[in-house]
Amino acid sequence: MDFSSDNRMGVNPEILEALHAANKGPAGAYGHDDMTRSLDQVVGDFFGTKVSAFPIISGTAANCLPIAASTPPYGGIACSEGAHILRAECGAPEFFTNGSKMLPVAAQSGKMTADALAALLAAYPASNTDTTVPAVLSLTQVTERGTVYTLDEIAALTRLAHERGMTVHMDGARFANALVTLGCTPADMSWRAGVDVLSLGTSKNGTICGEVVVFFNPDRAENFRRYVKRAGHMMAKQRFVSAQVVAHLANDLWRHNARNANAVARRLHDGLARQEQVTILHKVEANIMFVALPAACVQALRAQGFAFHTVGQDAVGQPVVRFVTSFLTTEGDVDHLLAAISKACA
């Protein structure tokens, strides 16, 4: 039973059906096919505004390509000190930008505060002609700690960024999960809150590989294809990626998937909250949670074949583990895990 990551799951049958349907005769390569051409409309409808949308096969690239297209070489990329792009990508942002500067911002439970961002920006004053220019603000929604920024929190951060002329990027690897949590529209949680470009993830939520880079101001996408091309992300048979995106957004498949992941996460959270020896470390607001458990309990769970990541230790030396639920996780899976924890911690 696997609680290690939503990206280890398989895919919805609808996705494979969409690939079959896309395999009809020749079609323009490198995005010049009807399916890919429809993305601006399909994704635009989803967001209730005009967009430029590009299908990309990995979250790393879907984040770093628009960041690269939004920063000069001497620019800086502000993000949470625990941001995935900062910590877990082997230097991908530095690579894609050819050496722009990462600017970590202090965060609490995964969320940058407006004060911390303001302090960072003050350290790189616009008046200094010799220093890094903060160029991009990158927010992760759902955050890396499993929390969800409120619309007001997003707006407070994007306002600061825009005052400095920065581009606001959102890493939306789990955008659908956050949407379900907030119960708002895709528009509310993106362009209306000040997001300029979004990496809309779908692969953690049921596709093989169908991330979408969404520019809410299509003018900014003018040379984006060139960044995609030279990074080797312009797949020849792009229709097969675009088809996944279209199928994922059709019939609310995305919402159905995310709702399940969040609901079973809530069930897991509630069960864990009743366990005395278990400490939940951050608010659980989507489908990820960080939990401190006795070492013996962790061992017992592993011995029974439960899969999950250990991510460190808490202040008193207990292992901290991460549980992630997905569109395929069942209530039964959760109850099974809870029972095992209950027994192991007893």
Instruction: Give the footprint of a second copy on residues 231-270 (CB under 8 A).
Output: 231-237, 240
C-beta closer to a second copy: residue 15 or 293: 15
Burial class (CB in 10 A: 0-12, 13-18, 19+), 303: exposed
Instruction: Give the footprint of a second copy on residues 195-214 (CB under 8 A).
Output: 203-204, 208-209
Is residue 281 a contact residue for a second copy (CB under 8 A)? no
d(CA 60, CA 62): 6
**Nearest residue to 243 (alpha-carbon basis) of 34, 6, 32:** 34
Please state the separation of Cα 109 from the chain's center in Å.
16
Is residue 336 a contact residue for a second copy (CB under 8 A)? no
Binding mask 101-120 for a second copy (x = CB under 8 A): xx-x----------------
Q: Using CB under 8 A, which of 39, 83, 92, 338 touches a second copy?
A: 92
Number of residues that bind a second copy (CB under 8 A): 73
d(CA 265, CA 65): 31
Please state the separation of Cα 101 from the chain's center in Å.
21
Instruction: Give the footprint of a second copy on residues 50-89 (CB under 8 A).
Output: 56-62, 64-65, 68, 72-74, 76, 88-89
Shortest separation between residue 346's beta carbon and a second copy, angstroms: 28
d(CA 20, CA 31): 18
Is residue 127 a contact residue for a second copy (CB under 8 A)? no
Shortest separation between residue 54's beta carbon and a second copy, angstroms: 12
Q: Using CB under 8 A, which of 94, 188, 314, 335 touches a second copy?
A: 94
Shortest separation between residue 242's beta carbon and a second copy, angstroms: 12
Structure tokens at 298: 């962790």
**Nearest residue to 199 (alpha-carbon basis) of 256, 245, 155:** 245
